[in-house]
Amino acid sequence: MEIEIATVGGYEEVGRQMTAVRAGDDIVIFDMGLNLSKVLIHDNLRTEGMHSLDLIDMGAIPDDRILSDLDGTVQAIVPTHGHLDHIGAISKLAHRYDAPIVSTPFTSALVEEEIDDEDKFHTDNDVVQMNAGGTMSIGERCELEFVNVTHSIIDAINPVLHTPEGAIVYGLDKRMDHTPVIGDPIDMKRFREIGREGEGVLCYIEDCTNANKKGRTPSEAVAREQLEDVMLSLEDYDGGIVATTFSSHIARVTSIVEFAERIGRQPVLLGRSMEQYSGTAERLGIVDFPDDLGMYGHSRSVDRAFERVMNEGKENYLPVVTGHQGEPRAMLTRMGRGETPYELYQGDKVIFSARVIPEPTNVGQRYQSEKLLGMQGARIYDDVHVSGHLRQEGHYQMLDALQPRHVIPAHQDMAGFSGYVELAGNQGYKLGRDLHVTSNGNTIQLVG
Amino acid sequence: MEIEIATVGGYEEVGRQMTAVRAGDDIVIFDMGLNLSKVLIHDNLRTEGMHSLDLIDMGAIPDDRILSDLDGTVQAIVPTHGHLDHIGAISKLAHRYDAPIVSTPFTSALVEEEIDDEDKFHTDNDVVQMNAGGTMSIGERCELEFVNVTHSIIDAINPVLHTPEGAIVYGLDKRMDHTPVIGDPIDMKRFREIGREGEGVLCYIEDCTNANKKGRTPSEAVAREQLEDVMLSLEDYDGGIVATTFSSHIARVTSIVEFAERIGRQPVLLGRSMEQYSGTAERLGIVDFPDDLGMYGHSRSVDRAFERVMNEGKENYLPVVTGHQGEPRAMLTRMGRGETPYELYQGDKVIFSARVIPEPTNVGQRYQSEKLLGMQGARIYDDVHVSGHLRQEGHYQMLDALQPRHVIPAHQDMAGFSGYVELAGNQGYKLGRDLHVTSNGNTIQLVG
Amino acid sequence: MEIEIATVGGYEEVGRQMTAVRAGDDIVIFDMGLNLSKVLIHDNLRTEGMHSLDLIDMGAIPDDRILSDLDGTVQAIVPTHGHLDHIGAISKLAHRYDAPIVSTPFTSALVEEEIDDEDKFHTDNDVVQMNAGGTMSIGERCELEFVNVTHSIIDAINPVLHTPEGAIVYGLDKRMDHTPVIGDPIDMKRFREIGREGEGVLCYIEDCTNANKKGRTPSEAVAREQLEDVMLSLEDYDGGIVATTFSSHIARVTSIVEFAERIGRQPVLLGRSMEQYSGTAERLGIVDFPDDLGMYGHSRSVDRAFERVMNEGKENYLPVVTGHQGEPRAMLTRMGRGETPYELYQGDKVIFSARVIPEPTNVGQRYQSEKLLGMQGARIYDDVHVSGHLRQEGHYQMLDALQPRHVIPAHQDMAGFSGYVELAGNQGYKLGRDLHVTSNGNTIQLVG
Amino acid sequence: MEIEIATVGGYEEVGRQMTAVRAGDDIVIFDMGLNLSKVLIHDNLRTEGMHSLDLIDMGAIPDDRILSDLDGTVQAIVPTHGHLDHIGAISKLAHRYDAPIVSTPFTSALVEEEIDDEDKFHTDNDVVQMNAGGTMSIGERCELEFVNVTHSIIDAINPVLHTPEGAIVYGLDKRMDHTPVIGDPIDMKRFREIGREGEGVLCYIEDCTNANKKGRTPSEAVAREQLEDVMLSLEDYDGGIVATTFSSHIARVTSIVEFAERIGRQPVLLGRSMEQYSGTAERLGIVDFPDDLGMYGHSRSVDRAFERVMNEGKENYLPVVTGHQGEPRAMLTRMGRGETPYELYQGDKVIFSARVIPEPTNVGQRYQSEKLLGMQGARIYDDVHVSGHLRQEGHYQMLDALQPRHVIPAHQDMAGFSGYVELAGNQGYKLGRDLHVTSNGNTIQLVG
């Protein structure tokens, strides 16, 4: 059976991930993501009403026209988790394919929200839920399996396409977490089995975000311990405390909520995406927040919540807000500008449970946000965080578990791949033979 | 009563700390430290036989000749903890003063070892032990008190000289740790009392090592969680694992020892200073290591230990060695050079439970050490560590607790003081009035 | 005679420089500057209509209320050169003082433009021109002298107040340039004379911008050589070439104009401040631009100029535009956004004859600007520039020439002063004795 | 005719460059270099007596065993210029091939010195001189041509192998210099001809050292202007001035010598490699140094020269010494340690006409060297230098001139290639098609 991989998007950047695997006549698409930075560099661009081709020209979504070169039929579109760089182009591209969107429950819910928000295109592909551990047939001879992984969002999986020539393991995005705070540990046992059963692993596509970093990405349990250390040290403080983190990072939000209560403060989630992700997670029964946890997304209800906090005493509350990257329109930046009813006083604390994404735009915006907060008297706790992506030792462990015949680094540019090429080289892989450094828009013939 | 502070050493650098406080006719000296980098820059210098004046000329030990300007009698020499930059000049300078050396038990033991190792001078000052919480009279009207603090070495205290004009609090070195793994949490309650009782605090001398860093220094409990995360992730690895950390960091060594046993390996401490500090801590009953924990300092016994490990299987042991900064003659560097019986194989793990001290010499040596280890196949887990020094939020909390009338930043150079000057400014202190930025060899008249 | 220095502004930052010197009953003010970053952090703030007190509260202009503590009469306001951080607060503060504004011709012209643009306050102080080398009496016993210096703007001087107690030399801002492209070399001979005549130098106030940098700031002749190397290497390129630099840097603009002509292109200056500074310099006869050099400031005439360039062929022109820091509303950023009639094609060149001011906001904005330009195909020549401020060897040479009895570092914050404190220390100055590290709003009594 | 490229060494690192090109039955080898850092990491290794295989195992010289896979006969070994990373393995590897060593006169002289210094192997290959512009036949149908290029050493060329299938251009190492101080400008005219004549360029192998840097590498004329600016600013200084630069950088040494005389000082070249390179250049008549220019390499004659300088007055001399990277045994480092008769006094100047190679070992050693010099009172002028390697705009210009059908980035590792891959991508090249990112030990079949 012919096996071919098309590297549609996310092989020169972080963002707009999309990969197509053809096994005989059947094609499976992994991820359809958005490169948000290509949108934000333009002022005031509203993507909901834009055409796919314009977004492709901007480099914002994958150029899926390469799929016309693949001789087969798309059988499934598989978003691996709910981050925008993996699902953000579905509303622009999925309608072109007569195939269901298959994903875990939390991811499915987020995909449906994306589809609902879209103005330009109507997407009526089936959205099919499949849990980690589940399998479904692809054509007559292949099978799709979801293996549970741990990432900075819940319900993440690595999809595996089992073919007669061996398994294709799509390894984006994960870290190796045995104590992930929410959900099950990464299923290394299953990866090891896949590496040894049948024809073994034909090809492994890997997330290289942190492939230039030594050692091991710490568990979410470490971030939780850091957060506990910071928040409990503030137990006696009787002024304002505000926290911010990735809205989609439900495990982190849960820890913040829990420690807020532990120090005698009522947490309240504020900001559109804060409400969206946490609300969805709660609705699906994935987390069990306190009954009285407020979540407010619309600006009027956010303002009312802030007013209540000011009236009843800042010392009784802990707002958890959007804005960890200093995004100009996010809630925390607006607080820094004095545009919300929440007044910061000298000595108030702001906890960033996030790291600045090291790109000069973010660094500049975050700096501005901290300056504005500082001008109002706030003091910053920075970088209370661990990454959601494997470092080098995790990559070694995955190669050891899967023993793939071919490896394709992804989710970075060439400089980002360099550490992976070196480590894969240490494990005996060789550029141009079984280690495929590539870019967007290529096809790699694995079995001819 | 006249009160005067002499900033003898450590006010332009980290290293060779020494401060003298005169209250009326009585003088107390806090710390007599060594600036090791000024020694190491010269090849093969053996300080044990060198004269004080030569070491003063090199900038290696404090220039205590300024004490002849102080009109009083030295009543006590008070090393605050056992790091060399606080005790390393005692064997060169203390003999000039007819005064006891007063310190906590662990510090006292280390001071005595320093004195024993000295070849040039004979020090016969009394070495008096006093625990945290203890007090002793200084002259007729003053009292010396030890307040328990938390640092990267056990049994650290901040000494307080109570005078009729208020307390002088010597704040070097500490972090604010409420869960320090070994020993008691920092005694913030006592600091708050001192700030409010009697005349309050006349002067506070503060450790500015991390004063340019935002937020809070994490607790040792966070380092322990990081270490647990790394070490337990290696539970299934059946090759060599080696760890390195600060020899004097008994809490850290204890955690490594414990997790080594948890993953089924026998820890063994190797290297001269590794044996010295842990041996002393065990002898004093401060830690309770496993009965069969081996500690070897002499090179022959280290080699024998390595041979045993090689014979009985590297998978059964976890050597904890010196060399976290890549020091050319330390054990780990020698392992990298293949100069020990321990053979590193492809894939073996080396855990650095330390951060590189960010000075180009260290950075270069550490890089070389990692290169050598890597050439033998070893892979590195880096930076499994938290600092022992307060960051900005800790400084704010100390100023809030003590409410000192005068503040003197120390333990840095001018650039290092800058963050402290800014934060003290936010709390109402003013340069040239009650905030004293100074350098080595000055005297500050607080009460005239 | 009592001599006192008030450090009004610019002693904790770069920006809003202002210093007052009282000699007996007479006061001279050096500089009244603006900290532009404190304005720009607020969206869309128009300062022309704002009240001084609001701008003081924002930290944008110096808090000159401290002058009421000085027992004397202001006799002159002396802006040292035309940069905004030295003249930008004159229109907000000068009207409070019954004293002339004394400055060199180019600086005077820029001050008058500032005054004209102001909406809130009416400034009718006399604007008196005095050239480098000139002197004027201050009260009965003092004299003001202008010494020629070299900086990144023409017609810069260091003012010297000669008093019976010695000279007060105000050393902001300069580099030591013996080949400055436009104007005379720095007058080191006169500085050496001042250091040796009469009572010598009582006090020297110094620009510490680059005091943490080793070596010597290169001459403008080096920047000119770099520019020549870049521009002549493009002689055969037949597409678009655009250059940007500091609008006020007339020597640099002149070099760009000259090399543009050398490679057969007509230079044209575009952007409001580009027109303002170069137009003023030409009007005063300080530079002699080619007769046909176009300068356009109003957006409509800029657009017309761009249209002409597009019609007659980009290969015939070299637009010199604003936007070297990536300022969001500057001409170059607008070109990157495709908002001007000038179309960038693949391979067009953009020469930044400027360094990014290393503050995260600028870095982020410049990065965005380069990204936008790159998305249109442009390629960047970066950092074709030398600084206008002394490095350490220049400081050593000034101390050697002036041999001042007191030194006050300025034009930086504490971290920025650190290199200066060290080098002054090497020359025998001592903190707290004759080396005065200070902050905004202090007074230093030199002769009591 | 079959054309094949073997990437023997220098495709994963800077150092040990070696490439073999097979055209039909004939093979030409370009460069045989040494990776010096792999030698220096081991203490006290003397390579002169070592066997090739040991040096290959250490990664110090290229693993040329891959040449046995090429079905042809080596016809020439072509070192492109005299740097060790290009000629340093000739004495270890060339004797295995029955082929002449063909290079320019200066390179040939240096190669012969390498061969003479070797203890282990006897190399009796012919050393054939060919000037830039020269050609020689390779087998029956190919021709080797030398094109003049500009680099940080004189007499550098890019060799071109003309084959019936097109030209193979070996582009290591160069910058695009039209005003190189010594020698002719880069011969861009010839490159453009080669790009357009016959079959054009089949393959271009390119030096990626600076491929991640924007803009253009400045000409040596810019370094000369910087040097003039620094040195003439010291005209009035009457103490010691010392300069250091790359010994092999004859153009730079010439400029230093010239400016030394201009400020009234007698230059003297000190250190083994300083004498070697400059002596060779003078002997070949490439430079015309002043008659009385002293050059001393042996330690005894160096010491005598220093003694003469001390006796006759440091103000009359300008020693030009080895040690620009802080190498522990170089002359300047020894001066810092006080191990030479030259005594540094407070205020003496040391000019580094070199940049630190940004690798932590160098950075650390250079830092130590500067510390030692500083402890003796010396002050540093840093980074008076421009690089010898193309930046991005040079790469664009080369691609435009040659229009090669295949491109192979070299002289870096994967991270270093990343900028080149991006820029080649902008010019229409595609990874895996005509843009070959590779590693050591591969063969690339261009014509099968």
Between the CA atoms of C125, C126, C127 and C131, what dihedral angle is there, to the nearest 10 degrees? -130
d(CA A407, CA B436): 61
Q: Are the Cβ atoms of A367 and C371 closer than 8 angstroms? A: no
Q: Are the Cβ atoms of A431 and D437 closer than 8 angstroms? A: yes
Task: Quote the mean pLDDT of chain D.
Answer: 96
Closest C-chain CA to B423: C414
Closest D-chain CA to C232: D178
Chains that touch B (3 or more CB pairs under 8 A): A, C, D
d(CA B285, CA D174): 66
The model's pLDDT over C371-387, given as tens digits with 9 standing for 90+, comes to 999 999 999 999 999 99
Chain A 379-438, residues with CB within 8 Å of chain B CB atoms? 379-384, 392-393, 396, 426
Taking CB atoms and an 8 Å cutoff, what residues of chain B touch D329? none
The model's pLDDT over B140-161, given as tens digits with 9 standing for 90+, comes to 999 999 999 999 999 999 999 9
Give the nearest partner residue to D438 out of A414, A417, A432, using CB atoms: A432
Element housing D258 (H / E): helix D250-262
Taking CB atoms and an 8 Å cutoff, what residues of chain D touch B373? none
Task: Quote the mean pLDDT of chain B.
Answer: 96
pLDDT band for position A408 (50/70/90)? very high
CA distance C371 to chain A (A): 8
> Best residue in B13, B414, B417, B445 to probe C by mutation, most C CBs within 10 Å?
B414
Q: Are the Cβ atoms of D431 and A413 closer than 8 angstroms? A: no
3-state SS class at D57: helix
The model's pLDDT over C182-229, given as tens digits with 9 standing for 90+, comes to 999 999 999 999 999 999 999 999 999 999 999 999 999 999 999 999
Taking CB atoms and an 8 Å cutoff, what residues of chain A touch C42? 337
Asked if C448 has any chain B CB less than 8 Å from its own CB, the reply is no
pLDDT at A43 over 80: no
Q: Are the Cβ atoms of B417 and C421 closer than 8 angstroms? A: no
* The predicted structure's pLDDT at residue B354: 97
* The predicted structure's pLDDT at residue B43: 77
Q: Picking from B87-101, B325-339, C41-55, D15-29, which range would have the lowest pLDDT averaged per residue?
A: C41-55
Closest B-chain CA to C413: B418
pLDDT band for position B448 (50/70/90)? confident
Asked if C41 has any chain A CB less than 8 Å from its own CB, the reply is yes
3-state SS class at D205: strand
Chains that touch A (3 or more CB pairs under 8 A): B, C, D
Chains that touch D (3 or more CB pairs under 8 A): A, B, C
Which residues have C-beta within 8 Å of that of residue A160, sequence separation ≥ 6? A144, A145, A146, A147, A167, A168, A169, A170, A194
pLDDT at B209 over 90: yes
Q: What percent of chain C is predicted at pLDDT more than 90?
A: 97
Closest B-chain CA to A351: B215
C3-216+388-447 maps to which CATH number? 3.60.15.10
* The predicted structure's pLDDT at residue D278: 97
Taking CB atoms and an 8 Å cutoff, what residues of chain B touch D371? 41
Are D417 and D173 in contact by the 8 Å Cβ rule? The answer is: no
Kindly state the average pLDDT of the residues B387-391: 98
Taking CB atoms and an 8 Å cutoff, what residues of chain A touch C41? 368, 371-372, 375
> Best residue in A178, A220, A229, A422 to probe B by mutation, most B CBs within 10 Å?
A229
Chain A 182-221, residues with CB within 8 Å of chain D CB atoms? 212
* The predicted structure's pLDDT at residue B292: 87
The domain segmentation of chain B, as residue ranges, is 3-216+388-447, 220-381
Q: What percent of chain A is predicted at pLDDT more than 70?
A: 100
Kindly state the average pLDDT of the residues A372-384: 96
pLDDT at D101 over 90: yes
Dihedral sign for Cα atoms in the order B176, B178, B183, B189: positive
Beta bridge partners of C352: C244
Closest D-chain CA to B372: D41
Kindly state the average pLDDT of the residues A415-442: 94
Give the nearest partner residue to C363 out of A42, A43, A364, using CB atoms: A364
Asked if C363 has any chain A CB less than 8 Å from its own CB, the reply is yes
Give the Cβ contact number of residue A49 at 10 Å: 10
CATH superfamily, domain at D226-381: Metallo-hydrolase/oxidoreductase (3.40.50.10710)
Are C331 and C226 in contact by the 8 Å Cβ rule? The answer is: no
Please provide residue D275's backbone torsions phi and psi, each rounded to the nearest 5 degrees.
Answer: -65, -40
d(CA C257, CA C259): 6
Q: Do domains C3-216+388-447 and C220-381 have the same CATH topology?
A: no
3-state SS class at D318: strand
d(CA A350, CA A243): 6
Q: Are the Cβ atoms of D383 and C215 closer than 8 angstroms? A: yes
* The predicted structure's pLDDT at residue A260: 98
Asked if B445 has any chain C CB less than 8 Å from its own CB, the reply is no
The model's pLDDT over D47-68, given as tens digits with 9 standing for 90+, comes to 999 999 999 999 999 999 999 9
Give pTM, 2 decimals: 0.96
Q: Are the Cβ atoms of D179 and C393 closer than 8 angstroms? A: no
* The predicted structure's pLDDT at residue D298: 94
A272-283 and A250-262 are packed helices; what angle lies between their axes, rounded to 10 degrees? 90
pLDDT at D43 over 90: no
Kindly state the average pLDDT of the residues D198-219: 97
Are D222 and C222 in contact by the 8 Å Cβ rule? The answer is: yes
CA distance D60 to chain B (A): 12
pLDDT band for position D292 (50/70/90)? confident
CATH superfamily, domain at C220-381: Metallo-hydrolase/oxidoreductase (3.40.50.10710)
Chain B 93-152, residues with CB within 8 Å of chain A CB atoms? none
Q: Are the Cβ atoms of D367 and B364 closer than 8 angstroms? A: yes
pLDDT band for position B45 (50/70/90)? confident
Kindly state the average pLDDT of the residues D257-280: 97
How many residue contacts between A and D have a Cβ separation below 8 Å? 48
d(CA B169, CA B158): 7
* The predicted structure's pLDDT at residue D432: 84
3-state SS class at C443: strand
d(CA A429, CA C75): 79
Dihedral sign for Cα atoms in the order B142, B144, B149, B151: positive
pLDDT at B176 over 80: yes
d(CA C223, CA C152): 11
pLDDT at C132 over 90: yes
Give the Cβ contact number of residue B68 at 10 Å: 7
Dihedral sign for Cα atoms in the order D265, D270, D274, D278: positive
Kindly state the average pLDDT of the residues D293-305: 96
Tokens 């991811």 belong to which residue?
A107
pLDDT band for position B181 (50/70/90)? very high
pLDDT at C43 over 80: no
The model's pLDDT over C137-177, given as tens digits with 9 standing for 90+, comes to 999 999 999 999 999 999 999 999 999 999 999 999 999 99
Closest D-chain CA to C370: D214
* The predicted structure's pLDDT at residue B44: 78
> Best residue in D54, D334, D363 to probe B by mutation, most B CBs within 10 Å?
D363
Kindly tell me the burial class for residue C192, based on how many C-beta atoms sit within 10 Å of its own C-beta (0-12, 13-18, 19 or more). Answer: middle
Q: Are the Cβ atoms of D380 and C215 closer than 8 angstroms? A: yes
pLDDT band for position D448 (50/70/90)? confident
Q: What percent of chain B is predicted at pLDDT more than 70?
A: 100
How many residue contacts between B and C have a Cβ separation below 8 Å? 47
Q: Are the Cβ atoms of A418 and D413 closer than 8 angstroms? A: yes
CA distance A35 to chain C (A): 15
The DSSP line for C215-242 is S-PPPHHHHHHHHHHHHHTTTT--S-EE
